[in-house]
Amino acid sequence: MTREEAKKKIDRLIDQIDYYNTRYYQDSVSEISDYEFDRMLKSLESLEEQFPEFKYVYSPTQRVGGTVTKSFETVVHKNAMLSLSNTYSEQELFDFDKRVAKGLPDQQYEYFCELKFDGVAISLWYEQGILQRAVTRGDGTQGDDITPNAKTIRSIPLKLKPGNSLPDEFEVRGEVFMPRKVFEAINAQKEADGETLLANPRNTASGTLKMQDSSVVAGRKLDCFLYYFQSEVPVVATHEEAIHLIEKGGFNVSGTYKKCRNMQEAIAYIKYWEQKRFELPLDTDGIVIKVNRLEQQSQLGFTAKSPRWAIAYKYKTEGATTRLNDITYQVGRTGAITPVAELEPVLLAGTTVKRASLHNANEIERLGLRIGDFVHVEKGGEIIPKVTGVDMDKRAPNLEGFKYTEQCPECGTGLIRREGEAVHYCPNEEACPPQVLGRIEHFIQRKAMDIESLGPETIRGLLDHGRIKDPADLYGLQFEDLNGLEFKVYSEKKADFSVRSLREKSAQNIINSIRNSKEQPFERVLFGLGIRYVGATVSEKLAGYFKDIHALQNSTYEELVEAPEIGERIAESLRMYFDNPKNRRLIDRLMRYGLKFNVEGEKENAGNNVLEGKTFVISGVFENMSRDEMESSIKAHGGKVVSSISSKLDYLVAGDKMGPAKLEKAQKLNITTISEADFLDMIGEND
């Protein structure tokens, strides 16, 4: 294929993928199958590898992520991103209307109303139809450059549709959010992994946008609604025209807006969405009301903190009062005990709430709960029900104070509470039924060993009959251990258990799945071990950095925190896990059964080990290599890449635009600073 042919095909693929992407993410229409879409994307990736000169910044391949940003550059906003004044009162809306009328004497004006989405404000800057920079709101004056992460959000255009009427340079602003379904799926996975649940979609979206690895951000499936347009060239007269302009330009605008002739119509809009908003796929916390005409906005001007031409009406957090019938306890895979409020069913934010998490003993004590109390219940982030207080006027005089359990509700073992933690734990890891069951369920799940056909009921049957005690025992099972195995199945309809037995074909399928699971790569095996705080992404990072289980389990705390994305909490958890002889014995048994505990193909891919034992910090921009390519090259030649400069560092690889602070610290510690050319000389690749 010639260069000209390649360019034409790449341009055609980019246009096709962008079209299908827009149809799916903005119009909710799937015109082609996922398989066909993925095949087109892989074809584009392949062509870009062969002809890198045609790998454009707006290519759809940029959306899969891969860029690692250790620190985010601070950017001053061209136009300040001010906050809005807000109110919970209809009367204050009429007071606002009077101020607008006073500021626009003898003028007719109208309002433009939009839902106030509960997400993270973002500014997007475009030049010649191509996304140049994405910046968070920050303090309103300056924010963080998160462009690589924003590019992973598929509803944000990287290149605008041809034929749009937008100027050469302009800014759009919007709200990045996490859809409810995505948030719930992440929390379901965290619950299965024995990790702390996320509080709400808004905080999760905010944390995701500041993640260092853009490939992780891509997996979080964030979305974005745009609601503001600004350019130095005047092209529209009203906010309504601006919204239609960016809609036609291919931006994702929520169709929930409405132009209102007066404040009475705006309040009717507010009342319409008060309950209707719960049907949306994301959280909302109010309505924004803006004077529609831009010239009138300019006349009204700004206060020091907010515009005089806009106001936000915020809905009161929906709550209810109901009776606390009991407090029960759940035991997680890691032994963590979670108290749960059992409530008299109550309708809240469109759903019936029967239970709410009470988090820990400290929270119960803070609330002063007693069984039989009437409690106030709200939905934090409109998703997770929470008990916020007690209605003391309704408390019966004979209610006894609540005492937190001292024994595990499942196995009776005395609970422990680790220093500095609020959660109680059951230490009986080997025999506490929910812990044993949870660890095996975690081990066999799709993201770990992917052992199909082996469901929770079958695992319980194997445990009840003494056929298994831990994940390693699965690999010792024979067909005879499974064929005819009896297990209990709960029926919601009958509200009772029935006994079933495993048939011959199902038994053989399980044996085959267990055998096939030995082909799972190291990172999945590591994830399957169920180490606290070590999820699928962290497992992948650890496997890629340490290469095999021996290097990982023998690493010191200091070496662990030097690994990408590994903080102090994860490092402490890893050391605690590997310091336990029982866990080491489990790993040894799994190794003897043939599971993979090293990254395959590393030695074949490496040119040599000239950087063996050397540590590097990479900073700045390089002429011949991206930072990711340099990091991969260092690892392929036996070296390690760390994120911070310390006395143990061997080399600082300095590129253009490197921050002066790193260079100054390296000089103080007498760290050798090398250029890109020096590095290529070290590995014998400087042509």
**Rounded Cα distance, 580 and 585, in Å:** 9
With vertex at residue 321, the alpha carbon angle to CA 402 and CA 406, rounded to the nearest 5 degrees, is: 20
Do 513 and 529 share a structural domain?
Answer: no
Q: 685 with 606: CB under 8 angstroms?
A: no
pLDDT at 632: 72
pLDDT at 26: 65
Do 87 and 130 share a structural domain?
Answer: yes
Domain assignment present for residue 560? The answer is yes
Domain assignment present for residue 461? The answer is yes
Beta carbons within 8 Å of 619's beta carbon, 6+ residues apart: 652, 653, 654, 655, 658, 659, 662
Domain assignment present for residue 62? The answer is no
**Rounded Cα distance, 252 and 245, in Å:** 11
Cα radius of gyration rounded to whole Å, the chain: 29
| Displacement of CA 79 from its chain's centroid (Å) | 29
* Residue 23 belongs to domain spanning: 3-55
What token pair was written down for 362?
Answer: 């400290």
Do 326 and 302 share a structural domain?
Answer: no
Domain assignment present for residue 405? The answer is no
How many CB atoms are located within 10 Å of the residue 447 CB?
A: 17
Phi and psi at 237, nearest 5°, equal -105, -20
Strand partners, 68: 213
Helix (H) or strand (E) holding 496: strand 496-501
Do 475 and 328 share a structural domain?
Answer: no
Do 625 and 661 share a structural domain?
Answer: yes
Beta carbons within 8 Å of 352's beta carbon, 6+ residues apart: 345, 346
**Rounded Cα distance, 603 and 547, in Å:** 10
Domain assignment present for residue 310? The answer is yes
Beta carbons within 8 Å of 309's beta carbon, 6+ residues apart: 100, 290, 291, 296, 297, 300, 301
Domain assignment present for residue 633? The answer is yes
Q: 100 with 291: CB under 8 angstroms?
A: yes
Do 116 and 131 share a structural domain?
Answer: yes
CATH number at residue 358: 2.40.50.140
Q: 586 with 662: CB under 8 angstroms?
A: no
Domain assignment present for residue 152? The answer is yes
Q: 322 with 347: CB under 8 angstroms?
A: no
How many CB atoms are located within 10 Å of the residue 421 CB?
A: 11
Q: Is the dihedral of CA 492, 497, 503, 505 positive or negative?
A: positive
**Rounded Cα distance, 143 and 134, in Å:** 10
Q: 210 with 410: CB under 8 angstroms?
A: no
- Token pair 């130095």 in the structure block, residue: 232
pLDDT at 98: 96
Do 173 and 139 share a structural domain?
Answer: yes
DSSP string, 361-380: HHHHHHHT--TT-EEEEEEE
CATH number at residue 564: 1.10.150.20
**Rounded Cα distance, 464 and 443, in Å:** 18
Do 265 and 281 share a structural domain?
Answer: yes
Which of residues 278, 299, 314 is at a domain's end? 314
pLDDT at 25: 65
Active-site residue 648, yes or no? no
Which of residues 394, 425, 442 is at a domain's end? 394
Identity (one letter) of the amino acid at 514? Answer: I
Domain assignment present for residue 61? The answer is no
Number of domains in the chain: 6
Do 13 and 124 share a structural domain?
Answer: no
Beta carbons within 8 Å of 29's beta carbon, 6+ residues apart: 23
Q: 227 with 243: CB under 8 angstroms?
A: yes
Phi and psi at 317, nearest 5°, equal -60, 125
> How buried is residue 583: exposed, middle or buried, by Cβ count under 10 Å (0-12/13-18/19+)?
middle
Low-confidence ranges of the chain (pLDDT < 70): 25-28, 34, 64-71, 191-196, 349-350, 380-384, 490-496, 601-608, 628, 686-687
DSSP single-letter state for residue 624: S
Residue 292: name the closest of 258, 249, 268, 250 by CA.
258
pLDDT at 606: 38
CATH number at residue 20: 1.10.287.610
Which of residues 477, 497, 519 is at a domain's end? 519
Q: Is the dihedral of CA 569, 575, 581, 583 positive or negative?
A: positive
CATH number at residue 640: 3.40.50.10190
Do 326 and 246 share a structural domain?
Answer: no
DSSP single-letter state for residue 84: P
**Rounded Cα distance, 478 and 60, in Å:** 48
Do 166 and 154 share a structural domain?
Answer: yes
Identity (one letter) of the amino acid at 552? Answer: L
**Rounded Cα distance, 643 and 652, in Å:** 11
Do 145 and 111 share a structural domain?
Answer: yes
> Among residues 7, 42, 70, 116, which one is catalytic?
116
